[in-house]
Structures are given as structure tokens and as C-alpha cells.
Amino acid sequence: MQLLLAVFMCMCTVSLSLPRREAASFAKQLLIRRFEEEKTSSGRANNNNVTQPSTSYARCLLCKATISIVNEFLSKAKSGDNLVAILKFGCKTLRIETEAVCNGIIPLFKDMLFTVISQSPLSPHDICSIVFNNECGELTEKSNWTVATSGVPKPPVKPISVPSDSAPKLRIAHITDTHVDYQYAPGSNANCADPLCCHTDSTQKKGSSVGADNAGFWGTYVTCDIPERTLISALKYIEKQVKPDYIYWTGDIISHNVWQTTREGNLRQFNRTLDVLRMYVPDVKVIPVIGNHEGVPVNSFPIPQITGRFSVTWLYESLADVWSHYIPEQNLKTFRKGGFYSYDLSSTLRVISLNMNYCNTYNWWLLINSTDPTDQLKWLTNQLQECEDKGIKVHVMGHIPPGQSDCLSVWSRNFNDIVNRYENTIAGHFYGHTHFDEFAIFFDKENTTRPFATAYVAPSITTFYSGKPTFRVYDVDGIYDNSTYQVLDIETHSMNLEEANRHPTDMYSPTWDVIPSIKQHYKLDSLRPEAWAKYVERIRVDEGAFKDFFAMYMKQLPNITYTEEDRKMLLCRLLRTRSEMPCQP
């Protein structure tokens, strides 16, 4: 039993990196049951019905026991080498992952894990409450912090004016979660035992048919990331057909081979991605965001007090150098400090790019100190106050949506309070991370039935645990005096993957199918928050409308079904931007 407890804490590092791992999430259970027979000692089912998640009580008991065991072990040992050997043995013996993954993931995470546990001032209760986002009880006062406000009273809420049809518009492409895999091999095994497949060394999964699940030339649903040619196809299409004014790129460049990542490998991929962007969309300014997969190990974003070999400076400095092609150096000073920055697209529109990894519950460095690392939220408040004073509108960008259960609840609460205060100033929210085509509605803190903003959560280019390579294009109220800069309509562009894979040659140009107007497709009066809230209520009672939304949400993934519990879970997610409000089936 002690072996299982010890292995648990380290091995959740594999699962934490996958978008399907939002605790008790609808998408997690749906995709796992449809495409993968789970590799755990409890034997999760492989069927077309969502399985019930493990209870919070058992999860918290296991977590607290694990923390206590590791603490005791480390206090009596001069190093963690013996514990690493135990973890490797347990990982392999219990078949939590394949031998290759066990041998890679544990050494990669061990030093961070041991350092965090030994330096964390928190009790096992608070540690587990942070990791599982309050499932293990309320945070104690030490961990339940509040960011100071500007002190300026909130002005009256201004109704959003309706732009005239002839008003100028901006076209903004939103790309997220590209996850290009440079080990992707067409014809390789796409149904393997590892967390990521479609590599030359991907082993056949027990019980699967040889040759039945081979990797396609342009991509493969669910179990694989994408080859570079698929990203290039998207960029060529964007350059020739979409012709955007800007590209919002909301993070996650690196593939899901989390047991093999290195700093050197990530740096190569950052530079290669810039080369591809400059080659295929040379005249479009890209506004980037840092994702959770950019760290090494995945989700590792040390707080400022962590220096030396664990310091995150290498990452911020390297990405700042890469992104300086698009963002002026004076704007990147805060990025070199904490991975966030602002940039003015015009004299009346500012983009704020946030580092959402400081809300990431799987960023274990937050267990040492989670209180607004690098003062990012304080900086955000100052930026928004400045924009309010000057009459500048703001687009807020980030990777992890603030309502995701892997966004720390205390961070999410502070963030929601800030954006609620500055709702007159913020014209749009843009996120990625989930891989699905979705949105989430912000509700007023005082009048909890009043929607005041919409978070646009874009679908991924990668096919990993989702459907077709997909991106969005926003029609935005354009640059002119008194522009609202609100999103007026959305186009959704998806690669026809099945057709593309019938043409296994780089000479072929895949077809990208487009839904030209989400407003028309969903029968919305507008894209204002209240219209989205009414839409959620409509699909709650209209089965046909929900089926249509579900197909869009899953990026046209074939043969996916859902239960009534799934439906309730998803509807809840659409109405949640505060992660302290968990969605339960």
C-alpha cells in the first residue's frame, strides 16, 4: 500500500500534462473511455459510457498519505535515490506506464518533487487542497491570499454600443496548442501503450489489431500530436485565404512526449516554430502566449525565489529572444521577469498576454509560495487601471482558461474579481489549453445572474485527445474612434483530415473546411455575453442544438457519443470561469 501511495504522487506527472486530466472533467472521461483502455490497477472501463471519477475522499486520503510518506523518507535519507528506485519499480510493476515512460518521467521530475516537498511550508492538507483545487477542503489563511486593488471605485457599467455594418473590422486568427511532434512517423503505431503514439518505436497495444491503427500522413485522431506539415498547411492557408491582420497564438508549442523533454529540445522547437512562422506568414504580426508545455519538466514554472539550476530564467530569456521578432524589447521586460507582457496594437487597443502557469495547480513550485508570483496580478490591475484612465480597450490572452479546475482556485478568484472590476475596459478574453472548441461566460460577483464577459477558448491545431486540426478567426470591431473592439463573429476552420490522409504526399494541399459565421450557425442575435448565456439555456433543453454544439466542441471527431451526465458537465463548464465552482456530473 505504501508503494502505491508513493508512486501515485510522482506518476500523476504524466497525467497532469494531458488536457484530458482536468479533475473529473467531462472531456477526460469521454475521451478516455472512447479511445483508450486505462492502464491502472483499478482497471477503468473501455466502453461508450462515461465512467464515474474516483471520489474526492479517496484521492485526498491518498495524496495526504503520500506527502507524509515522502517527507518522512526524505528526512531520513541523504538523497532521494532509494525513493526513485522504489518509484520506478512501482511504476513498472503496477503497469502505471510503460517501462520507457517510467524510466523517463521519474528521473525528470524527481528533483523538482523532492525540492518542493522539502521546502514547502504547507501542511499535507493545504498541499493536496492546492493540487486538487479545494477538493480536499478549504485552504488555510496562509494560502488564501488577495491581491490589493487600485482603490479606484468601479465606474457605472456602460452598455456596449452596436457598431455599424460599415465600420472597419479587424480579422484576428486564433491558433493554439500546435504541439508539433518531430518524431511523428506516418504508418507507425497509433494505438500504443505510451501516453503519445505515432512514433517509430510506438509499441503495439495489447489486444489491438496489427495495422488497424496506423498513423496518417497528415495526422491521427486522439492518440498522437501532428507532423510539422500539418502546421505548415494551416499557416499557408491562413496566409492565402484568411489574410488576418494579427495572429493570437495562445501557447503549447511542445509535443506531449513529456517523459522525453529537455531544455535543449524545447529551445530547438521554439526557434524552429519561429522559422516556420516567418516563412509561411511573413507579413502577419503574431502575439504569443506561454503554455504549460513550454516548461521542462512540463508544468514546471518556478517562482522567483527559486534560483540556481531550477530557475526558470532560461525559458523566459529564450522565448523573449525568439518573440522579439514580433514584440519590441521594451515590452518584453516583464516577460523576462515573469512570462507576461502587454503590447499596443493601436493607440486605443492593448493586448495583455498573461502567464497562466502561475495559476496551474500542476505547477508544483506554487506549493512553496502561490501568492501572486512575480506580482503578475498586481501588474495586471495597474495595466487595466491605466487603460481605464486613458480610454484604451484591452484584449486579455492566456493559455489556461481561468475556470479550468487545473487553475488554482485562489488565483482564479482574484483574477475574476479583477476582470469584473474592469469590465468596461476589457473587450475580449482569449485562451487555449483544453484542445476543444468552447467558451466560458463570466458572471458578475454581486449580481450572479448577470453575464459580463465571454472567454473564447479556441480549438487546437493538434489532434491529441481531440478531433480535426482547427483554428478560429475573429471578426473584431476595428480601429476607429470609439471602437468597442468586441468580437462580432467567429469563423471556424478545420482540416479535412480523412481526405488529406488519402493523399500521403507533401505535394498535396489539404482542404480546410470553414463555418463562416458562428453567429448564424448557432442562431445567435449577437456575440455579447447575454446572448451566449441564452444560448447555453437553449442547448440545455434543445437536444438537436446540443448535438450540433457537441460536434463543434469535439472538432468533428467521429463516433463520439455522450450521456446526460456528460451533457450536464459540459453545460456547467460553459458557465464557469471561477475554478472554485467545480462541475460534477
Positions at the binding site for Zn(2+): 177, 179, 252, 292, 399, 433, 435
Q: Concatenated DSSP letters for 269-284?
A: HHHHHHHHHHHHSTTS
Torsion-angle region of 536 (φ positive above 0: left; ψ -120 to 50: alpha; else: beta): alpha
Q: What is the largest CA-CA distance in the chain?
A: 73
341 by Cβ neighbours in 10 Å (0-12 / 13-18 / 19+) ranks as buried
385 close to 556: Cβ distance less than 8 angstroms: no
Would you state the cell numbers that stand for residue 562, as one nine-digit string?
455522450
How do the residues of the chain divide into helix, strand and coil, expressed in percent and rounded to 5?
40, 15, 45
Alpha helix stretches (DSSP H) within 427-542 = 497-501, 518-521, 529-541
Extract the annotated binding site: 177, 179, 252, 292, 399, 433, 435
State the DSSP H helix or E strand holding residue 512, giving kind and residue range, or none if neither.
strand 512-515
C-alpha angle with apex 370: 584 to 249, nearest 5 degrees?
75
Q: What is the 3-state secondary structure (H, E, C) of 544-569?
A: HHHHHHHHHHCCCCCCCCCCHHHHHH
Q: What is the C-alpha to C-alpha distance for residues 15 and 241, in angstroms, rounded to an integer?
A: 38
Comparing CA positions, the residue from 345, 582, 574, 569 lying closest to residue 455 is: 574
Which SS3 state, helix, strand or coil, does residue 451 take? strand
